[in-house]
Amino acid sequence: MSDAAIRVEHLSKQYRLGGSVPGYASLRDRVTEGARSVFRAKATSRPELFWALRDVSLSIGRGEVVGIVGRNGAGKSTLLKILSRITEPTEGEVHLFGRVSSLLEVGTGFHPELTGRENVFLNGAILGMTRREIRAKFDDIVAFAEIETFLDTPVKRYSSGMYMRLAFSVAAHLDPDILLVDEVLAVGDAAFQKKCLGRVEQISGQGRTVVIVSHNMTVISTLSDRVVWLDGGRIVDIGSPADVIARYLSAGIESNLAWVPRAPASDAFVFHGVSVRGAGSDAEAFPADSPIDVEFDYEVRQPMPPGRLFFSLLNESGTVILSSAETDGTPQEHRTWQLGRHRMQCRIPGNLLRPGRYFVTVAEPDGDRYIFHEGALGFTVSEQNSLVTKDAGQSLIAPLLEWRPVRVPSG
Amino acid sequence: MHIVLKRRRGLARLGLRELWEYRELVGFLVWKDILVRYKQTVIGIAWAAIRPLSAIFVFTFVFGRLAKLPSDGLPYPLIAFAGVLPWQLFATAFAESSASVVGNAQMVSKVYFPRLIVPISSVASALVDFGVTFVLVIAAMAWYGIVPGPRVILLALFLLLCLAAATAGGILFSALFVRYRDVRHIVGFGLQLGAYISPVGFTTAIVPEKWRLLYALNPLVGAIEGFRWCLLGHGWIDARALAIESGIVIVALLFALYYFRATEATFADVI
């Protein structure tokens, strides 16, 4: 017990559904409900209850980095919200040993009218830093965010990248014993992301405890010492990152060549289906030399912020083999969506993937962000015609590359 | 440090010590309120002066000139000034703090800090506008050549009464607002009525003696008349009335604090 940082005991959280907006009432509703219940023994319109977390027990050691994975609605965010004291448990209890900081969102409390400098102070104070602490770290924060020249510009004039960098930078300079992070590492460009990951590694290296929720399996597997898999509010599996991620990704899908989201995230954008197709009559496994097509069938129903289609391909241990966006080959990063129904296909060439199980994480646009459905699709590349059967050893991919003789200069 | 998180049962604890630990955050939120309120405005903080001045103009014209209400021989603008000063503090503090928790929904649902900080900092930022009005009052008194006696020291007590009343209302209504959006309408409507029920633009002298104690059930009566008494030397000061008013405010403040603390655990779930 002495070296535990977090002890979660039989934790449950119940939420109320039902009504137009959950939990949101007006006095009128209360009054009419009360009047009704006078005439009936009990109010008939019982709100629907559901358990976001059910009997979760978990102990996290000091200095440990624990990753939490699970599909949308599995209870990951609820767990972090309870740990960070934003909401209280319905049953069970949590013991926290040390100062806790949570990073459930970057830029909480940022005010668009205020300058970068003012927002650093404000945001730092909201996250629990003292004025003296912020002063001492101010230069580091600004240097980390790389926004020195814009310090006295209102953040409403910042690009979204600059805004995110500054916001993350403030949070990255917190000094808690326990740090809770919810899917916020996916900000900024690749170089900045790398910097963020480095920062989290550095924090955990100093003996601090980190709990991190992410849909990015590479982040989870590189950072975590242990991974917890949540589903339906319960812990399904706890163990080493490689084992748990492999089981998590392959759970429930033997072969899932087509996928439709259960409920669209927004009214503006609807996936009618995302599918993978390869050569061969055997739908389960594609020969290694056959190209594989990932097809998006989608409909844009309302004007929405510029975005793009993209997906990631993961191998069985959760390593991202490749990611591709429809805009990769075009100069502008995002494009505006055309209203109507469309189909887009992305071809993964044959003779590239090793034999094995693969998963496709699909990004579903929702306003100006994305919802990630990891392992939405799963398929197998068979050993048939694979280069691996000839040689290829332990390589991650097995591409067929071009070899050609070069003339030896005579002389 | 060992923190235990579980469902609260029974009477909530006030958590005043934790509130004290977070006092710096109050300062930052007030600072933000002020910065934001006057950024990108042409005349900036001058707005804080225009609001009370226009109210005083209207009260002097309507109650002083048209209705010819009594003013104890004092210039009517001063009567109105001494009324508007505490009333506007109360009205601003109460209105802003009632809306504060819902207005900061994003913060409340993403970061932990003692929730009471939010309505309390709204009350505190209303004090800044109060400061501006106060300077105007001093200027007006100098203009009319009125020098307050030593009793001006007691102004602090009446200020406290006014602030406590606003804090009690603000804390209670900010918690109610999270669940019942009706609060927005109730607060606006209540303050509109309050400005006429309370002796803001007129003095309590026009209220018949036998109704005075009933009238004093409104704590603002004590605060406003107290301000007049301290600043101008004329005002209705009555020990029994003040006892009633203070009692009401203390009970209301305690009730508000407990209600807020009891419901704050579900703020993030229903906001």
Give the ranges where A146-184 is alpha helix by DSSP (H).
Answer: 160-172
Q: Could you read off the pLDDT of A101-119 as tens digits, one per residue?
A: 888 877 788 888 899 999 9
Q: What are residue A348's phi and psi, to 5 degrees?
A: -95, 120
Whole-structure pTM value: 0.77
What is the rounded average pLDDT of the residues A291-312?
A: 90
> Judged by CB atoms within 8 Å, which residues 170-199 of B form the interface with A?
179-182
| Structure ipTM | 0.85
Beta-carbon count within 10 A of B222 CB: 29
Q: Could you read off the pLDDT of B157-177 as tens digits, one per residue?
A: 999 999 999 999 999 999 999
> Judged by CB atoms within 8 Å, which residues 174-203 of A form the interface with B?
177
User: Per-residue pLDDT for B130 more than 90?
Assistant: yes
What is the architecture of the domain spanning A4-32+43-248? 3-Layer(aba) Sandwich (3.40)
Chain B positions in Cβ-Cβ contact with residue A25 (cut-off 8 Å): 179-180
Q: What is the pLDDT of residue A23?
A: 43
pLDDT band at A41 (very low <50, low <70, confident <90, very high): very low
Q: Which of B39, B113, B179 sits opposite A126 (nearest CB)?
A: B113
What percent of chain A is predicted at pLDDT more than 90? 34
Secondary-structure class of domain A258-389 per CATH: mainly beta
Max distance between CA atoms of chain A, in angstroms, equals 108
Indicate the domain borders of chain B. Answer: 42-270
Residue A207 DSSP symbol? T
What is the rounded average pLDDT of the residues B192-202?
A: 92
Chain B positions in Cβ-Cβ contact with residue A87 (cut-off 8 Å): 265-266, 268-269
Residue A338 DSSP symbol? P
CB within 8 A of A307, min separation 6: which ones?
A334, A335, A337, A365, A368, A370
Q: Do A89 and B269 touch (CB under 8 A)?
A: no
User: Per-residue pLDDT for A176 more than 50?
Assistant: yes
Residues in chain A: 411
CA angle A301–A304–A309, rounded 5-degree value: 85
Retrieve residue B167's tokens: 């804090």
Region class of A106: left (phi > 0), else alpha (psi between -120 and 50), else beta:
beta
| Residue whose C-alpha is closest to residue A181's, from A109, A241, A106 | A106
Retrieve residue B18's tokens: 């934790």
pLDDT band at A19 (very low <50, low <70, confident <90, very high): very low
Q: Is B105 on the interface with A (CB under 8 A)?
A: no
Chain B positions in Cβ-Cβ contact with residue A99 (cut-off 8 Å): 1
Whole-number Å distance between alpha carbons of A5 and A61: 5
Q: Which of A89, A97, A130 sits opposite B5 (nearest CB)?
A: A89
- Beta-ladder partners of B5: A94
What is the rounded average pLDDT of the residues A139-144?
A: 92
Q: Do A125 and B28 touch (CB under 8 A)?
A: yes
Indicate the domain borders of chain A. Answer: 4-32+43-248, 258-389
Tell me how far CA of residue B133 lies from CA of A87, B31, B89, B140, B227, in angstroms. 40, 18, 9, 10, 13
Q: Which of B31, B265, B269 sits opposite A23 (nearest CB)?
A: B269
Chain A nearest-CA distance from B181, in A, is 6
Q: Do A108 and B111 touch (CB under 8 A)?
A: yes
B89 against B13, higher pLDDT: B89
Q: What is the pLDDT of residue A248?
A: 85
- Strand, coil or helix: what is A144? helix
A73 against A325, higher pLDDT: A325
Whole-number Å distance between alpha carbons of B17 and B264: 17
Q: Do B3 and A91 touch (CB under 8 A)?
A: no
Q: What is the pLDDT of residue A228?
A: 96
What is the rounded average pLDDT of the residues A213-229?
A: 87
